[in-house]
Chain A
Amino acid sequence: MALLRDFKFHSPDTLLQALALLEQADSPVLLAGGTFALNTLKKSSKYPTDVISLRKIPELNGIKTQDKELWIGPMTRIDELIGSRFIQDSFVCLKEAALKLGTTPIRNMATIGGNVASRFYWVDLPAVLIALGARLEVVSQDGGRVVGLYDYLTEKKLKKEIVSGILLPLENRGAYHFRHTCTVQEVDTPYLGLTFSFTRGKEGLLDVRAVVNTTLSFPVFLKGVSSVLQGLGYKEISLDDMRKAVCEDIKNTKLDEYRIQLLCVDMENILSLLNGKAA
């Protein structure tokens, strides 16, 4: 018996062809690395009429600098991301997060674009990318737009669009990433991820961003924590202040007690790292 029910498979050579196919199909699914999309199809009751692979489109591949940003092609595989000199030099935190993502064969197949565009709660990279200030280039038959990653993920109305680039500002930004897993049927699954990023100014930390991958919802900005930490190095911050800010930030999230405790421990670690370095 076939493992997947029938659909029509397309493998366009250009982005324009892919957009035309996307527009024409009744119920299309875009295929990047396939590790999420094909798994979903095996379990889904809502089935596509058409599957459009983006693998052969050269415009969606590569990593390059342009102006003051790094452009990452959405079809860049996770193992390519890890191996990229640009990422190793300028975005250590992203490399660390990518190294912890899935398993070796998954990293050999999955793509950064798929990780983002799947809009799946468990995926690791969106929280990291948001903390690093990522924006997405998105195209449809109506034209293109650039949108912040957080806004893209939380948009209600989904159009027939393709993510055609991921933009990361090239700035001197410090960042830490923490990730916790739990073992489900012998497989480590993501449980909580925290990315914390900042720039350093004369008066302490500036432009602080703390973003959590709860694995229960889209990434959550910890606005209170960010605001408390703004200026650290210039002002003293106690663990108590930090805990209070965390508790305030997560009031409307679905985080359970265990995840909250993990988050508080991560915050304490960040504080000691920063106090050590910011002094």
Chain B
Amino acid sequence: MKNITLKVNGKICELEVRDSELLIETLRERLGFLGTKYSCLEGDCGVCTVIVDGKNVLSCLMLSADCDGAEVLTIEGLGKDGEPHQLQKSFVEKGAVQCGFCTPGMILAAKALLDKNPDPTDKEIEKAIDGNLCRCTGYMKIVEAIKDASRKIKPNDQISISKR
């Protein structure tokens, strides 16, 4: 077992994890953040996407012990004081959510994009979500929702994540 410290959604967590435990397992099984989904577990589908130290990454391909000291953002940490984040609002308003399974990963990929590029083009949005598969809606409404959020997000709405 390894003792690690993670800052998850702004809260410091001191944890004892198995050496071979994946970040997705720690987030779901130990910390109860069920918005991070299990699916392909091979890095193809993107439903396990979280933001680690400002970058959207795949929690099914990271060992928790290797993330010691990292700052992690899951979908549960995105809104503030019970108020959904603008990306979440835009996804609902634009009909970009159907079954909802890909949505947390999709929104976090979009969040990582907007943090570094607040006014992306459609092509840049498509590139940013290239690691997230949706089997319901196609991608047009998702791109539309991200574009909509980019217009409505004010600079001070961004949550800053420092680099490790």
Contacts and interface: CB of A to CB of B under 8 A. Distances in A.
Contacts of A102: 131
A42 interface: yes
A39 B43 contact: yes
Contacts of B129: 104
A55 interface: yes
With most chain A CB atoms within 10 A of its CB, the pick from B60, B62, B66, B129 is B66
A100 to B, nearest CB: 11
Contact of A187 (B20, B41, B44, B56): B44
Interface string A234-250: 00000000000000000
A31 interface: yes
Contacts of A185: 44
Contact of B130 (A2, A38, A103): A103
Interface in A19-56: 31, 34-35, 38-39, 42, 51, 53, 55
B128 to A, nearest CB: 6
With most chain B CB atoms within 10 A of its CB, the pick from A11, A79, A104, A187 is A104
Contacts of A108: 55-57
B104 interface: no
Interface string B29-69: 00000000000011110100100000111101111011010
A79 B2 CA distance: 29
B21 A104 contact: no
Contacts of B18: 2, 6
B66 A105 contact: no
B19 A104 contact: no
A186 interface: yes
A86 interface: no
Interface residues of A, number: 29
B25 A106 contact: no
Interface in A62-82: 79
B65 A9 contact: yes
Contact of A31 (B49, B56, B66, B109): B66
Contacts of B109: 104-105
B127 interface: yes
A31 B67 CA distance: 13
A3 B62 CA distance: 12
A201 B131 CA distance: 43
B19 A34 contact: no
A3 B57 contact: no
A80 to B, nearest CB: 10
A6 B58 contact: no
B46 A105 contact: yes
A34 B25 contact: no
Interface of B: 2, 18-22, 24-25, 41-44, 46, 49, 55-58, 60-63, 65-66, 68, 109, 127-131, 133, 135
Q: What are the 6 tightest A-B residue pairs by CB atom distance, in nearest-first order? A: A103-B131, A9-B19, A4-B20, A108-B55, A105-B131, A9-B65
